[in-house]
Amino acid sequence: MKSLKGKVAIVTGASRGVGKGVALGLAEHGTVYITGRTERGDMLPDFLKLTGINQTAEEVDRVGGVGIAHKCDHASDDQVEELFKRVEAEQGRLDILVNSAWAGGAHVMGGYFFNTPFWEQPVSLWDDNYTVGLRSNYVASRLAAKIMTKQKSGLIVNISFYGGRRYFNNVAYGVCKAAVDKLSADTAHELKDYGVSVFSLYPGQAGTEGLLEAAKYDSNFDVSAMETPRFVGRCVAALAGAENAIENTGRILITAELAEHYGFSDVDGKQPKSLRGLLW
Answer for the pair 42, 49: CB distance below 8 angstroms, yes or no.
Answer: yes
Q: Distance between CA 237 and CA 23 in Å, rounded?
A: 10
What pLDDT tens digit does each residue of the chain (280 aa) get?
677 888 999 999 999 899 999 999 998 788 999 999 888 766 556 656 567 899 999 999 999 999 999 999 999 999 999 999 999 999 999 999 999 999 887 787 778 888 899 999 999 999 999 999 999 999 999 999 999 999 999 999 999 999 999 998 899 999 999 999 999 999 999 999 999 999 999 999 887 766 667 667 776 777 778 899 999 999 999 999 999 999 999 999 999 999 999 999 999 999 999 999 876 6
Could you please report the per-residue DSSP string of the chain?
----TT-EEEESS-SSHHHHHHHHHHTTTSEEEEEES-S--TTS-GGGTT-SHHHHHHHHHHTTSEEEEEE--TT-HHHHHHHHHHHHHHHS---EEEE-----HHHHHTT-SSSS-GGGS-HHHHHHHHIIIIIHHHHHHHHHHHHHHHHT-EEEEEE--GGGTS--S-HHHHHHHHHHHHHHHHHHHHHGGGTEEEEEEE--SB--HHHHHHHTT-TT--GGGPBPHHHHHHHHHHHHH-TTGGGGTT-EEEHHHHHHHHT---TTS--PPP-GGGG-
CA-nearest of 139, 100, 119, 95 to 17 is 100
Q: Distance between CA 148 and CA 141 in Å, rounded?
A: 10
Residues forming beta bridges with residue 32, ordered by sequence position: 9, 67
Query: Is 33 part of the annotated catalytic residue set?
Result: no
Active-site pick, 167, 173, 194, 262? 173
Going from N- to C-terminal start, the domains of the chain cover: 8-279
Answer for the pair 20, 205: CB distance below 8 angstroms, yes or no.
Answer: no
Answer for the pair 96, 10: CB distance below 8 angstroms, yes or no.
Answer: yes
The class level of CATH for 8-279 reads alpha beta
What's the predicted TM-score (pTM) here? 0.94
